[in-house]
Amino acid sequence: MKKLENKVAIVTGGAMGNGLGIVKVFLKYGAKIAILDYADTLNETVSTLKEEYMGSEIIGYNVDIRDKVRVNACVDAVVKEYGRIDILVNNAGVAKLEPFETMSDETRDFHFDINIKGTWNVTQAVIPYMKRNTESSIVNLSSVTGPMVADSGEVAYATTKAALMGFSKALAVELVKEHIRSNAILPGYILTPMVEGIGRDTNPENPNEVIEGIAAGIPMGRLGTIEELGELAAFLASHESSYITGHEFVIDGGSTLPETMSVGV
């Protein structure tokens, strides 16, 4: 029996990037999936996944997780379709780099409203259904950025990702008697459209040079894949991690280990 067989999982932001990697791995392990995303590619992604994972059950809902009414309606629809919710992966998030001193309130709130409030909305909508189960799991996508490291221009993003650490731990304490676990994943550099966008914005003529520069600062010498992150999420979502709650798991190829990027032996 596959470790997520017959489990129902909601993955926010699952149409691309890290979320897509998580969805693919969950499908491999037998989960039924509901993607909550407002990306234009959602329907195309769902169709492609249905072809790639023949016989799997996957549905998509176009939703802006800032819209609490719409979020509640989509969560109710998932339960109507699948009968239950066992797993929630709070993956949806945004990052826009700007200097703190000149950052507008709109840019600040863009991060806060999606990365924090949106995650709050979906989690609050899902918990009443999770309480019906004997075992459920919430996996929150934080980042090494904020809790562990930061670069210039990342104040809004880093603040929200650090906040998700407190959110995840407090949830774990509050929900443990309901047999609901809450853990956080802290990715380093994973090769996603967001990272590729950084490459294009930094060096439009040769974005690969930026990616190669990032990889050079990682002890493993490369960026992670979305499927590698998905495997960690699947572990935390499954019974394999049944005695783990309130903790954070770094997946960064060792990028946060060196004191500097230039010291060699």
Annotated catalytic residue within 38, 82, 157, 189: 157
What is the average pLDDT across 217-222? Answer: 95
pLDDT band with cut points at 50, 70 and 90 for residue 26: very high
Query: What pLDDT, on a 0 to 100 scale, did the predictor assign at position 188?
Result: 96
CA distances from 94 to 17, 106, 241 (A): 12, 13, 28
Asked whether residue 264 carries a pLDDT value surpassing 60, the answer given is: no
- To 10 degrees, what angle do helices 226-237 and 17-28 make? 60
- Chain centre distance of CA 202: 24
Structure tokens at 5: 């067989």
pLDDT for 208 = 85
The predicted structure's pLDDT at residue 233: 98
CA-to-CA separations, 8 to 19, 32, 57, 222, in angstroms, rounded: 15, 5, 9, 33
Name residue, tokens 């932001």: 13
Confidence at residue 261, expressed as pLDDT on a 0 to 100 scale: 64
Instruction: Tell which wins on pLDDT, 157 or 207.
Output: 157
How many percent of the chain have pLDDT more than 90?
A: 89
pLDDT at 65: 98
What structural domains does the chain harbor?
A: 8-188+224-249 (3.40.50.720)
Contact 139, 230 (CB under 8 A): no
* Average pLDDT score over residue span 97-108: 96
Mean pLDDT of 93-112: 96
**Tokens 């934080």 identify what position?**
142
CA atoms in the 13 A half-sphere facing the CB of 158: 16
Q: Compute the distance between CA of residue 20 and CA of residue 37 in angstroms, rounded to an integer.
A: 11
pLDDT at 262: 56
Percent helix, percent strand, percent coil in the chain, to nearest 5 = 50, 15, 35
Q: Give the list of residues 6+ apart from residue 233 with CB closer than 8 angstroms, or none.
A: 22, 25, 26, 89, 139, 185
Q: Is the pLDDT of residue 229 over 80?
A: yes
Query: If pLDDT is split at 50, 70 and 90, which confidence band does 100 have?
Result: very high
pLDDT value, residue 196 = 80
Dihedral of alpha carbons 21, 225, 66, 178, sign:
positive
Residue 139, SS3 per DSSP? strand
Reply yes or no on whether the pLDDT at 263 is more than 50: no
CA distances from 128 to 49, 145, 180 (A): 29, 31, 11
Q: Kindly report the average pLDDT of the chain as a whole number.
A: 95
Residue 175, pLDDT score = 98
Question: Is 157 part of the annotated catalytic residue set?
Answer: yes
Tell which residue, 153, 148, 154, 151, has the closest CA to residue 187. 148
| Conformational region of residue 253, where left means phi above 0, alpha means psi within -120 to 50, and beta covers everything else | left
pLDDT digits (tens, 9 = 90+) for 141-154: 999 999 999 999 99
Lowest mean pLDDT among 41-50, 64-73, 122-131, 202-211: 202-211
